[in-house]
A and B are shown apart, each in its own frame.
Chain A
Amino acid sequence: MPLILDHVSQVYNADTETPVRALDDVSLVLPEGQFIGIIGHTGSGKSTLVQHLNGLMLPTSGNVYYNGRDIADKDFNKKELRKHVGLVFQYPEHQLFETDVFADVCFGPKNMGLSKKEAELAAFDALRKVDFPNELYYASVFELSGGQKRRAAIAGVLAMKPDFLVLDEPTAGLDPVGRYEILDMVSALHKESGMTIILVSHSMEDVARYVERVIVMDRGKVAFDDTPREVFTHGEELEAMGLGIPESTRIARMLKAKGIGVDPDVLTVTEAADSIYAAVTGKDK
């Protein structure tokens, strides 16, 4: 079932002298099956936006629809919505509370009303999907490294078997290896189980490499909503929003401007390298 945002606005501190319009007339359709990236400069409203997707925040004005129903309705079952739309917060490791990892991952499915056995099966399944090391299943959450905690926390949401998995900057504070491990894992979830992924990030590199649709947020508004290739043709506008395009795309464009026949629409390092090789040697690799 698609999620639909219809002219959604959100104002923080509305009753003070300095109201913050964190979302400004945002309309989006998020169908199932896509791998979507949301990017924007810090403070552009990304975290605010994703909290509207599972009813943690209700719009100041406008509506959010799931399954054809307004989630702000009195009789709308928010718990049911949160089962379908799993949200992993920024720094999710701060939410771990149980004595061991496995018990913590069981928290979500248990809240969903599953029996102990079903919850444990779901937890095993989720921990396996995030490649969590077997020998640490029963370790205390305080004995884990940052990346391991992050995986455990993501598993905690995955265990509810959501249709939508929304991740708010899942790679913040991780080293490059840890970053790509997490992103590869998320990408695998999308490919293997067809889960809809919504990935919030402010790294163009991450987004370019994985997603099929980019939503660019700028000061609470949706600035662009298109394929990465299409969005990156607006290099200057993106730069004005404090974002910029991936390094590889930029280098390809600079070479092109110097008269070298490189494809200016490359997205990743590999693509750029191939294209430059082809342009310089005159033959395909």
Chain B
Amino acid sequence: MIRDITIGQYYQTDSPIHRLDPRVKLLGTLLFIITLFLYKNPAGYAAGAVFLLAVIKLSRVPLRFITKGLKGILIVLLLTVIINLFLTPGTALISFWKFTITYEGVGVALTMLFRLTMLIMGSSIVTLTTTPNNLTDGLEKGLRFLKIFRVPVGDVAMMMSIALRFIPILMEETDRIMKAQLARGADFESGNIVKKAKALVPVLVPLFVSAFRRAGDLAMAMEARCYRGGDGRTKMKPLIYKKRDAIAYIILFSFVIFSVWIGRWQVINDFFNSLYLRYIIK
């Protein structure tokens, strides 16, 4: 039922991407997303897509798992495309009834489509190939410089790892409670919105109760082990950069420089513009 949600879901397998230091993956995603907004011509997006596909291939995560994340934003995606398609002013391509599609509109819609799709796919790769624990470790270490601004990085990381850890537990719990109520004749599917919302009460109440109980138990267990805040805690498996991480950084930076260069290269910009102009003039 609700197991289909992939947020924060880890795909267990062994691959070069799984083995990378989480900091590499986090910085890599950040850079990848930034580059998506720097491209000025299709060649840049093509380079980005090739890079993304190569990483997906290397990660051994089936493509299906990555596109699953897209399902959630399908509506947003469609809306973006449609709105841009119809509401961008410019030279008309087709017009019917009260609507006009412009050349510029097609361009903007396609750009947004590629950007959003690649953005989501790029970020799902990180969560699919990194365990939540590793991810928070990476964040904690990568953001340690924020301590100068008195941000309690360690505590925030601990909160994040607990929250992430609880997602699958609560999902499982929701599944169990839903089944238990279904067994008592509950009906979550039929009826209008109000009825459906009401039908969720027998699920939400026990879910909250159990979440509070678990939180209490966890707090107790942490106190019993003398947890006293994040500062100065050592790690059982400290993050240390390895040779492969260095190689990954080199590939990453080369990609960023190359794709941004090609994505903004005047010659290519001109080439695509001339193609576009030729169509308009015709």
Contacts and interface: CB of A to CB of B under 8 A. Distances in A.
Contacts of B67: none
Interface in A25-60: 51, 54, 56
Interface string B158-184: 000000000000000100110111111
Given A16-B12, A17-B12, A89 B183 contact: yes
Contact of A56 (B13, B173, B179, B187): B179
Interface residues of A, number: 27
Contacts, number: 64
Interface string A84-120: 0011110010111100000000011001100000000
B186 interface: yes
B210 A56 contact: no
A80 to B, nearest CB: 10
A198 to B, nearest CB: 13
B206 A96 contact: yes
B62 A94 contact: no
A64 B86 CA distance: 52
B232 interface: no
B183 A54 contact: yes
Given A16-B12, A96-B206, A97-B201, A111 B180 contact: no
B184 A89 contact: no
Given A18-B12, A96-B206, A97-B205, A111 B185 contact: yes
Interface in B167-225: 173, 176-177, 179-187, 201-203, 205-206, 209-210
A96 B173 CA distance: 13
A56 B182 CA distance: 8
B64 interface: yes
Contacts of A95: 177, 180-181, 184, 202, 206
Contacts of A107: 181, 184-186, 202
Given A18-B12, A97-B201, A157 B184 contact: yes
Contacts of A213: none
B51 interface: no
Nearest to A50: B183
Contacts of B255: none
B184 A156 contact: yes
A156 B181 CA distance: 10
A122 to B, nearest CB: 12
B11 interface: yes
Contacts of A112: 185
A79 B185 contact: yes
A82 B185 CA distance: 7
29 contacts: A15-B62, A56-B183, A79-B187, A82-B183, A82-B185, A86-B183, A89-B176, A89-B183, A94-B173, A94-B176, A94-B180, A94-B209, A95-B177, A95-B180, A95-B181, A95-B184, A95-B202, A95-B206, A97-B202, A97-B205, A107-B181, A107-B185, A107-B202, A108-B184, A108-B185, A111-B187, A157-B183, A157-B184, A160-B184
Interface of B: 11-13, 62, 64, 173, 176-177, 179-187, 201-203, 205-206, 209-210
Given A88-B183, A97-B205, 7 more contacts: A56-B179, A56-B183, A82-B183, A89-B176, A89-B179, A92-B180, A94-B177
